[in-house]
Amino acid sequence: MDNQSIELITRMVLESIQKQEASSENGYVVPVGVSARHIHLTQEHVEALFGEGYQLTKKKGLMGGQFASNETVTIVGLKLRAIENVRILGPVRSKSQVEISATDALRLGVKAPIRESGNIAGSAAIAVVGPKGAIYLNEGCIVAKRHIHMAPQDAMAAGVHDGDIVSVKADNERGTTFNNVQIRVDDSFTLEMHIDTDEANAAKIATGDTVRIIK
């Protein structure tokens, strides 16, 4: 290894240490993304709702290779109360999942548990209606657990690890502290905390605002 490489590695390590020290003193700053209700679907369910062979079309790219599609559906609760224009996120998944807010759950008349994305076992049932058909999910409707997406270098700088649970503070006029925030680390992630519309409205936070990890 040459001197230039050693110098570069040394500088990166020092910068990481400085960031960790700043993090422990002032809290690591994280931008917020407010997540509206949405749905993930299997290819089988896409075709059931939109027609045989149908493929989702991309409207906007999201982190981790995901995208907001142009397609929307209507979700229907057990009391036949419905919410229209629920955005589908792609690409297709191995299991279909509906993510709503607690207010949406009350409106639909469903008992959606607070869960990490992908953990749908025993969650609420819901019906989904598309232009060419409808499906009934025996489980899959959840209120997403608040979380922070991080790349490994962000996690190192913040002094946290994948799966950690932290507290986060919003320094605005509401001064809200969010507890039980899960850290999710992956190379494909961009630094961002995701909260739903209920949490954002209560704390008077909008997409692009920042919060601090206070642990």
- Domains in the chain (CATH in brackets) are 27-34+146-213 (2.40.40.20), 36-144 (no CATH)
Q: Are 182 and 155 in contact (CB under 8 A)?
A: no
| pLDDT over 50 at 135, yes or no | yes
| pLDDT, tens only, 57-96 | 999 999 888 999 999 999 999 888 999 999 999 999 999 9
- CA 137, CA 88: separation in Å to the nearest integer? 15
Task: Place 215 in a pLDDT band, splitting at 50, 70 and 90.
Answer: confident
- CA 107, CA 86: separation in Å to the nearest integer? 14
Query: What's the pLDDT at 24?
Result: 45
Average pLDDT over residues 145-166: 96
Q: Which helix (H) or strand (E) holds 156?
A: helix 152-158
| pLDDT over 80 at 7, yes or no | no
| pLDDT, tens only, 28-56 | 999 999 999 999 999 999 999 999 999 99
Q: Which helix (H) or strand (E) holds 157?
A: helix 152-158
